[in-house]
Structure 1
């Protein structure tokens, strides 16, 4: 059959466009297949990945790491390099594979390891294919799968295939997959999904890119992981976690004596909890320990009492044991900690969490304890755990609870700046600022976890000035249970006043408005997990013989997205600018983003206005 010239040209153009697109990529996943073979005794997973390396910059993707643990054995590793013509130019040798521990920062010991190797070629493009098998003797998840191996490069074709024996009970959930098939043989049920990731999603400020990636979650309804359990519903899953915690709350006798002395004479329950929380903070430290089923089962309270360290599970279990000893009920509560709250799939019960905190019902309130941070205020849930569902573990009564959201007053930064302006010398500025919420967390961590040189470097990167000299600066925290921190700074600013003919001008100190991109570039919805609130008082001492040229004005913007106010006054030769900016906690679709951005743009135009000073006649 002879193709018509126009159709032939069109095919050539499409083919050429695809080649150009590929050539512009450093690398791409051409094929990714996962086969999960389930039986009553074990789960066998076989993965096969083919990566095409298009240029020298893509060579970094030839560093292959395969994770495993004592519970998840890896074997049958094979790999090879193919040139574009299909010729195999190199096969992986056993001697090319190295083993190393996957112990991460803040970890004493992890039962996690990595098999790693590199297969690299010097003629582009070339393909690296590798396959391996993972055998799990105990498992609580059959597959938590996505075709996204690397966030920044595409995956062209991916398939997940799961094979169960007939009668095996399971739960499944999938999103953004292109095809699903269910089949059966005489002995097995077969599930198969197809997916791709053709256009890598760039992360954007206040977005949740994972919501738009293909994913599949499959879990067994009945399992044995430490102890026998079920995920047929959340009550059952909670009972499994409850059983896993049994007999881990026994305290040494010496520890009991110490606790009794600490709370002696205190009758108010809240004060008892606070005293014991301070004891935890002052006498333990966070170190990750993950061995055996350590990802889900904490070390005993006696271990923490003796060694004075633990991970989030161990420290929370220890705090729970301390409170239980003095007769105060508390609940081990699992949460998915992240800057952007991640949705929990409530249709599938199972391990969708990465952190543990303690919930303590008290009268008509609940006290929340973050047990891994020695400088965390009492009853303070930070930006990584606030405003989301958490799973409270209780025998036969496990349930989802809501961790309270930060309010405007809880996430506010306030600045008071006093400028002494000069047209001939450096201008001086004194800054008194207070941070709450996410700002408090950043500066509190800076205050407690960094040496002086690191503190100074990070502090200087925060200053919104050019050509300055730091005279002095300090961080001030009133007390350990106040969720705010102060930053006091004194600076000399060189050439702060800019000449404008015979006049001078300055730009108002900015109100720390998040940097949102223009609507044509925004791809993902905006999700603000907490309100952003900034309030500033600026005082500019005008140089002698000068006055403000442009007339002060008042601006006010009130929208569904937030509000902004600016008041300008001149009193006794000084310019006073009072600002307030707030973005509300909410989600905004791409369709609504232009209106949202319009508000941000209007605020930016007003907020950084120039003030012109002219010489008095």
Structure 2
């Protein structure tokens, strides 16, 4: 899609005063279908030296024309900031109505409130909304924040916007000529070819391309003693999310710029130039927080009394104590977003965030004679996220790496339900930066196999005269299924657990009357559940013939994917295996006259099998399903859809019952 309005966009937001607009060049309602069109999405970061260190002024400008009701929210402004690191310099907005009338809004019209997130922090939110405006109006806003400690963090901006095309995107970083800037262009956290440059003093022009499409134009220049690094994108199509796809933050291209060298009082200062140095910096940030106090040592001695000397068993006991006894409460003020509270503080309060829980476990392990390291990681929904650049603020979680005889072992004490043996799915396959004194390169967390994440369901039913099925069920889970089930058992009341059990058993309808659950180690953790259930309308009737379809009572595995062409990958939380043993006692006077053929499917995505057996007393269906992938490229979505449709077809084939001759 190419609209050709870039000439207008260059005028919008390029001067300190609000410029006039040429409305004859603006798009009109219904011209191309979008609900709004972003005219200008620009950020300029100006770095400069002070006696206390480098400072950055970040100016954000945004202009959008609102074409349909659904696009009204595109012009609203909202930015979370931390007063410990940032102050508001200025903020203003302008609305230009279709008749050319202008409404101007100064800083006093912007709301500045405490952040309402679930984390207790010093964060605030600056917001502004244009209210009710006629369609065809243009909304523009501009805000500048002054940021301290820019050497700790990376500057970044996405290329493109959700649900709205973008005519012009600009991201510029300006610094003193002697300072050095490293840059990177990524998609899904991975560098795009041509998107990075080891030359920290880049001058000239280059392009980052994907195939025959230009992603961004890069210009480096030196002028008036200042170094400019400019990234520009033109006529970028709107990003539209698709089901089962990664979020926009993982799909849209992103520009990263970080300060690697600057001067302070005439002395050259270096920031982390790579992940080995960043590993050292993280270690220094955590230094002194995990020293075990006398109270921590006493508690460790109590927990490990009679446990023995095996470091794995001792580590598991301490992990389970922290997991169970320390509530998740995030208090993150200033550098508290990255430096944990001391282990003694967390032990005393029995509350802390991810890094606090990891630090307390580290302290307790140290008291038990076991070494460990804080480990920075990104939680994800199936598409692992790398750290991208060696700076703070590019990861969202902290776990712990334990030095055990068989090697480094990663655990997540923040999770209430993950086992000591395996990380939660959202931690698996992700890049991990360890905090070590010597510094190390990142590692990748292990991923579990389909066999490790298993669910087995057994259902035994007897049919009533009203075609209702009543009987028993048994559920056995391991890996991620066990972790998810444990979470539901923690969070839900008994009545809600019975309701949720329908989902655990894949029931399309019916009720679970009673449940009993237990946890076993065989050799890994499994959670088992047993109970009674009833299912209405198990069979359908056509005259004297009864028809049973497995799909009428049990939801088949897999996704329902649209036949529309996809542009984004399909992501699964984890590789899984599931099996079903479904049995119906044949009522007196009926006989099974037709059963479907067995089906066996094999693909690169996984496998599926279903078979039927019948005797004079019982009809049985056994199914097995494996999903061996977590990521499927958009180009292969039709193959995946065909695989799942074949499974649904096998589930929907009918079994016929008719009156037996003996009756």
TM-score, scaled relative to structure 2: 0.83
**CA distance in structure 1 between the aligned counterparts of 2:400 and 2:497, rounded to whole angstroms:** 31
Aligned partner of 2:184 among 173, 181, 192: 173
Asked whether 1:32 is paired with 2:41, we answer yes
Q: Partner of 2:197 in structure 1?
A: none
8 Å CA contact 1:22–1:54 kept in 2: the answer is: no
Q: By how many angstroms is 1:433 displaced? A: 1.6
Matched residue, 1:194: 232
Corresponding residue number in structure 2 for 1:80: 94
Q: Which moved more, 1:426-435 or 1:38-47?
A: 426-435
Q: For residues 506 and 452 of structure 2, what CA distance do their matches in structure 1 show?
A: 24
Which position in structure 2 is the counterpart of 1:121?
Answer: 132
Q: Secondary structure at 1:317's aligned position in 2?
A: helix
Residues 326 and 350 in structure 2, CA contact (< 8 A), matched pair in contact too: yes
Equivalences, count: 596
Q: Which residue, out of 569, 587, 590, partners 1:543?
A: 587
Deviation at 1:438, TM superposition (A): 3.4
Provide the TM-score with structure 1 as the length reference: 0.89
| Comparing 578-587 and 21-30, the one that deviates more | 21-30
Q: Secondary structure at the match of 1:47?
A: strand
Matched, 1:522 2:572: no
Q: Is contact 1:229–1:237 with CA below 8 Å preserved after alignment?
A: no
In the TM superposition, residue 251 of structure 1 has moved relative to its aligned partner by: 3.2
Q: CA deviation at 1:584?
A: 1.2
Q: 207-216 or 439-448, which moves further after superposition?
A: 207-216
CA-to-aligned-CA distance 1:134-188 (integer Å, 9 cap, x gap): 1111122341211445x33333321111112112122110147332211220311
Cα-Cα RMSD: 2.9
More divergent stretch after superposition (162-171 vs 480-489): 480-489
Q: Do the aligned partners of 2:498 and 2:514 also contact (CA within 8 Å) in 1?
A: no
SS in 2 for 1:591: helix
* 1:81 Cα deviation after fit: 1.4
Indicate yes or no: 2:287 matched with 1:273: no
CA distance in 2, matches of 1:22, 1:527: 34
CA–CA distance in structure 2, aligned partners of residues 441 and 128 of structure 1: 47
CA distance in 1, matches of 2:349, 2:48: 40
Shift of 1:332: 0.9
> Where do 1:182-581 residues align within 5 Å?
182-195=220-233, 197-205=236-244, 207=246, 210-222=249-261, 230-265=271-306, 266-344=308-386, 351-452=393-494, 454-455=496-497, 458-459=500-501, 464-465=506-507, 468-478=510-520, 483-509=525-551, 510=554, 512-528=556-572, 530-581=574-625
Over 3 Å counting, the alpha-carbon distance change for 1:284 and 1:164 in structure 2 is same
Structure 1 residue aligned with 2:640: 596
Q: Out of 391-400 and 594-603, give the one that drifted further.
A: 594-603
Q: Which runs of 5+ in 1 are unaligned?
A: 1-14
Q: CA deviation at 1:553?
A: 2.6
CA distance in 1, matches of 2:522, 2:336: 31
**Inter-partner Cα distance in structure 2 for 1:31 and 1:401:** 39
Q: Secondary structure of 2:424's partner?
A: coil
Deviation of the 1:53 alpha carbon: 2.6
1:10 is aligned to none
Q: 1:235 to 1:21 in 2, by over 3 A?
A: farther
How much has 1:452 moved relative to structure 2? 4.5
Could you tell which deviates more after superposition, 560-569 or 482-491? 482-491
- Which of 518-527 and 495-504 deviates more? 518-527
Give distance in 1, aligned partners of 2:638 and 2:467: 44
CA shift, 1:495, in A, is 2.3
User: Compared with structure 1, are the counterparts of its residues 78 and 524 closer, same or farther at alpha carbon in structure 2 (3 Å cutoff)?
Assistant: same
**Does the 8 Å CA contact 1:67/1:115 hold for their aligned counterparts?**
yes
Give CA deviations for 1:477-535 in whole Å, capped at 9, x if unaligned: 34799643334342322222111233111211546422141453322233456322111
Is the 1:339–1:384 Cα contact (8 Å) retained in structure 2? yes
The 3-state SS of whatever aligns with 1:331 is strand
